[in-house]
């Protein structure tokens, strides 16, 4: 079907995601691991991949990841309608790794399995959460095909509860910061909708637009208020390599961004940081005018970083991963 009188097309779904990923373990799982930001954006929780096809007892977990607090996340993939077997495996993986988050991705979550995940969310405490996600592939006319991850089960009032609980348990200072973050993303939704509003946040920082390289972040720190890219591929060596590639072009990047960048390799940590600071901004002492300017500055800097660096960061992360795979293969052959 072509475009209508308003120049609009029709969004169509492929009959089966297997038209794209023929093999679940050989195609879909590696794709998801390399594009974990698609899943992170869908559930509003930044994820870092720790491994694929990980042995848990006699079974193999599709993807083992961690959340921003370093807690285990288990991801079970199924390129077909949900079944009892995969539900059992999900629970085995979650218990075996003492996971805080269990994610089941399927082409159709049957009603009885949807009910099981809802029951699990209702019967466990806030430190355990379960997500049910349906995967599909869409396109408009002859356009590129795109993956869609629809969250059909999530923890009770996931976004609302996380926000309200956090606000109720933090100091007025941190409530002020969280309100500031909300204003930034309200403006971001209009100015640059490519960056999606995160569903969750903590009090002093808020991550968004995660990718295989790490994530972007708004942060109130001892050094001051900043907008940053926090690099973390899950591997210290590849993270530092990506950082070094960026730092080598630091001067050109600053000119392209139109602002000074702060470079922090964090040699003793797995991650690294590239940031831009708003000098002299103190949220507690800021009047309405200064606060509004800081909100606008945050959006401007976040958009500039995303536009200038997101594609390159993803390319560097891919190159780094491929190099690691070649090295692993070479070591295996040598043995």
d(CA 225, CA 274): 13
**Phi, psi (degrees; rounded to nearest 5) at 325:** -65, -40
Q: How many domains does the chain have?
A: 2
- Claim to verify: residue 105 and residue 216 sit in the same structural domain: no
- Claim to verify: residue 139 and residue 166 sit in the same structural domain: no
Residue 167 has pLDDT above 60, yes or no: no
Boundary (domain end) residue, out of 156, 190, 219: 156
Mean pLDDT of the chain: 85
Q: Do residues 47 and 73 touch, judged by C-beta distance below 8 A?
A: yes
Find how far residue 43's CA is from the centre of its chain: 8
Distances (CA, A) of 51 to 72, 190, 206, 220, 233: 11, 37, 25, 31, 11
What pLDDT score was predicted for residue 168? Answer: 47
310 found inside a domain = yes
- Claim to verify: residue 263 and residue 171 sit in the same structural domain: yes
Burial of 302 (0-12, 13-18, 19+ CB in 10 A): buried
d(CA 118, CA 154): 8
33 found inside a domain = yes
pLDDT tens for residues 259-283?
Answer: 899 999 988 888 899 999 999 999 9
3 found inside a domain = no
69 found inside a domain = yes
Q: Among residues of the chain, what percentage have pLDDT more than 90?
A: 42
80 found inside a domain = yes
User: Within a 10 A sphere around the Cβ of 57, how many other Cβ atoms?
Assistant: 11
d(CA 115, CA 104): 13
311 found inside a domain = yes
pTM summary value: 0.58
**Phi, psi (degrees; rounded to nearest 5) at 100:** -90, -20
d(CA 41, CA 212): 12
Crossing angle for the helix pair 288-334 and 250-257, to the nearest 10 degrees: 140
Query: Which CATH number covers residue 39?
Result: 3.40.1350.10
User: Within a 10 A sphere around the Cβ of 194, how many other Cβ atoms?
Assistant: 11
- Claim to verify: residue 148 and residue 178 sit in the same structural domain: no
- Claim to verify: residue 255 and residue 320 sit in the same structural domain: yes
Q: Where in the sequence is the domain holding 96, given as residue range(s)?
A: 11-156
pLDDT tens for residues 1-52?
Answer: 566 676 777 778 877 888 889 888 889 999 998 888 888 888 878 788 888 8
d(CA 123, CA 143): 44
- Claim to verify: residue 248 and residue 115 sit in the same structural domain: no
- Claim to verify: residue 17 and residue 58 sit in the same structural domain: yes
């Amino acid at each position: 079907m072509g475009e209508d009188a308003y120049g609009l097309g029709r969004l169509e779904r492929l009959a089966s995601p297997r038209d794209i990923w023929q093999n679940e373990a050989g195609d879909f799982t590696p794709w998801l691991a390399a594009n974990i930001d698609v899943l992170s954006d869908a559930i509003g929780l930044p994820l870092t991949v720790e491994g694929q096809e990980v042995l848990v007892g006699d079974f193999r977990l599709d993807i083992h990841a961690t959340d921003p607090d370093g807690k285990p996340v288990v991801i079970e993939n199924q390129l077909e309608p949900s079944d009892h077997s995969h539900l059992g495996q999900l629970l085995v993986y979650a218990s075996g790794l003492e996971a805080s988050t269990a994610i089941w991705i399927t082409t159709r979550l049957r009603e009885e399995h949807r009910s099981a995940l809802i029951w699990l969310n209702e019967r466990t405490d806030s430190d355990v959460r379960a997500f049910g996600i349906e995967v599909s592939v869409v396109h408009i006319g002859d356009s590129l095909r795109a993956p869609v991850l629809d969250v059909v089960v999530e923890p009770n009032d996931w976004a609302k509860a996380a926000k309200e609980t956090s606000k109720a348990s933090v100091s007025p200072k941190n409530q002020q910061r969280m309100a500031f973050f909300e204003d930034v993303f309200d403006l971001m939704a209009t100015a640059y909708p490519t960056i999606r509003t995160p569903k969750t946040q903590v009090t002093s920082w808020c991550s968004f637009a995660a990718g295989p390289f790490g994530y972007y972040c708004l942060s109130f720190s001892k050094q001051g208020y900043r907008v940053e890219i926090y690099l973390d591929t899950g591997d210290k060596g590849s993270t530092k390599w990506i950082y070094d590639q960026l730092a080598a072009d630091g001067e050109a990047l600053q000119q392209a961004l139109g602002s000074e960048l702060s470079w922090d390799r964090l040699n003793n940590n797995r991650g690294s940081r590239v940031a831009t600071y708003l000098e002299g901004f103190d949220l507690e002492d800021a009047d309405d005018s200064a606060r509004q300017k800081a909100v606008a500055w945050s959006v401007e800097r976040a958009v500039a970083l995303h536009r200038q660096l997101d594609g390159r960061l993803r390319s560097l992360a891919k190159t780094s991963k491929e190099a690691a795979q070649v090295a692993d293969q070479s070591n295996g052959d040598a043995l």
